[in-house]
Amino acid sequence: MRPRTPIRSFDDLRLHAPDLSSPVVTLFSGGLDSTYLLLRLVRAGVRDVHALSVDLGEDESSAHKQAMADQLGIRLHLVDARERFAEEYVRPAIAAHAVYLDTHPISSSLSRPLIAEIAVDTARELGAGTVLHTANRSQNTLRRLNGALDLLGFAGRHGSPYDLTPVDRGRKMHELKEAGLDQLNERLVSGDSNLWCREFESGILDDPEDHAVPEELYRWSVPRPGTGPEEIEIGFDRGRPVSVDGRALPLTELVETLNRRVGAHGIGRYSGLEHLAAGQKVLEVREMPAATLLLRSHRHLETATLPAETIREKMHQEQIWVREALEGRWFDGLRRASQAFVDVCS
């Protein structure tokens, strides 16, 4: 069987387009890029567009996304995957102490394989031969989503038209406003959020002479006036965080609780350079209060329960685990093998 032609540009989308009545699944965050892609599909005459939104604990409201989809006359699929994300991705990341180059906990790398898996499942249910996303060459998400879709064996066309066809932010805003979709014109940065992390990039953060982050962008890590010293007790069961101050909680609620309580002390902000495949570096800013406390607590627990040599080898395996997740190889064998080693240490 010949490999399918990847979608890498808007010309690819036009030249290799399926029958205009065939279903097309496109990942939809409610942001500028994904909304503009939907507009382009509608203008191209594709009649069966399915916008897929996977809720991992994000900022964008379902009502906002539904309003966008309704205005464009397309079908919106909302999938609540918060619990699955916490159990299948965040929990292994805690066990693997998934920190990028000793600077920040990884975040979007955890969400991409799950989003890709849900996209493939949705496409197969609908009989769709095309899965689209909106990552571009300044985002590592491009190879993470494409890599996951390949490893999952999706036989249809897939990719991002923004790969080889960058579209100016101003042009996207202008065309959306002309179409009556001007809700996105006030945004200063691009954001990506889930229950583990809120992340910002692009927009005003691309100014090489001013990387100041407007304080209003932060939500979890805003110091609460009058907040004094606080003691928080995290309970672990075989390396798995299971309780806060003696109260048993599912991981989703445990993370949300810690984001509020730890963040109230101004803890959990990270900024650093993301390294792209071609060697460029882009600034990214994150807030991750729960991750800060959980990862440090888990490491201290390991020092009390594991032999020193095991910890040293585990730290080596952790960076292999992180690299494979970063490179879009979550479903490949090496990441799974590293996970098996990590699990034995729990």
| pLDDT given for residue 2 in this prediction | 42
C-alpha span between 267 and 220 (Å, rounded): 9
| pLDDT given for residue 16 in this prediction | 56
| pLDDT given for residue 322 in this prediction | 96
Cβ-based neighbour number of residue 48 at 10 Å: 18
- For 191-309, CATH number out of 3.30.300.130, 3.10.20.30, 2.30.30.90, 3.90.1260.10 equals 3.90.1260.10
| pLDDT given for residue 283 in this prediction | 79
186 pLDDT above the threshold of 80: no
| pLDDT given for residue 187 in this prediction | 60
C-alpha span between 118 and 111 (Å, rounded): 11
332's CB contacts (< 8 A; 6+ apart) are 151, 324
Query: What superfamily in CATH does domain 10-190 come from?
Result: HUPs (3.40.50.620)
| pLDDT given for residue 274 in this prediction | 76
pTM for this prediction: 0.92
C-alpha span between 199 and 112 (Å, rounded): 14
243's CB contacts (< 8 A; 6+ apart) are 233, 234, 235, 249, 254
Cβ density class 125-147: b for 16+ within 10 Å, e for less: ebebbbbbbbbbbbbbbbbbbbb
When mean pLDDT is compared across 119-123, 125-129, 217-221, 272-276, the lowest value belongs to 272-276
107 pLDDT above the threshold of 60: yes
19 pLDDT above the threshold of 70: no
Average pLDDT, the chain: 90
When mean pLDDT is compared across 91-95, 170-174, 269-273, 281-285, the lowest value belongs to 281-285
When comparing pLDDT for 14 and 266, which is higher?
A: 266
Which stretches of the chain are assigned E, i.e. beta strand? Answer: 24-27, 49-55, 75-80, 99-100, 104-105, 130-132, 157-159, 190-194, 197-201, 234-237, 240-244, 247-248, 269-275, 281-287
Beta bridge partners of 90: none
Q: Would 10-190 and 191-309 be classified into the same CATH topology?
A: no
| pLDDT given for residue 208 in this prediction | 64
When comparing pLDDT for 186 and 5, which is higher?
A: 5
The domain limits of the chain are 10-190, 191-309
pLDDT confidence of 333, banded at 50, 70, 90?
A: very high
Instruction: Using a pLDDT cut of 70, give the percent of the chain over it.
Output: 93
C-alpha span between 182 and 13 (Å, rounded): 25
Q: Are 105 and 291 in contact (CB under 8 A)?
A: yes
Phi, psi of 263, deg, nearest 5: -65, -30
| pLDDT given for residue 271 in this prediction | 84
Instruction: Please give the C-alpha separations between residue 227 and each of 20, 163, 231, in angstroms, as whole numbers.
Output: 58, 46, 12
**Longest C-alpha distance within the chain, in Å?**
65
79 pLDDT above the threshold of 80: yes
Beta bridge partners of 80: 55
18 pLDDT above the threshold of 60: no
1 pLDDT above the threshold of 60: no
Tokens read off for 77: 């699929």
204-229 confidence digits (pLDDT tens): 677 767 767 788 889 999 998 888 89
Identity of the highest mean pLDDT range in 19-28, 112-121, 139-148, 274-283: 112-121
| pLDDT given for residue 307 in this prediction | 96
124 pLDDT above the threshold of 90: yes
Q: Cα angle at 114 between 325 and 295, to 5 degrees?
A: 55
Identify how many contiguous H helices and E strands the chain contains and give both numbers: 12, 14
Tokens read off for 33: 């890029």
When comparing pLDDT for 204 and 76, which is higher?
A: 76
User: What DSSP element (H or E) covers 212?
Assistant: none
276-307 confidence digits (pLDDT tens): 777 777 778 899 999 999 999 999 999 999 99
When mean pLDDT is compared across 17-21, 55-59, 302-306, the lowest value belongs to 17-21
33-45 confidence digits (pLDDT tens): 999 999 999 998 8
C-alpha span between 322 and 330 (Å, rounded): 9
pLDDT confidence of 189, banded at 50, 70, 90?
A: low
When mean pLDDT is compared across 50-54, 177-181, 255-259, 296-300, the lowest value belongs to 177-181
pLDDT confidence of 17, banded at 50, 70, 90?
A: low
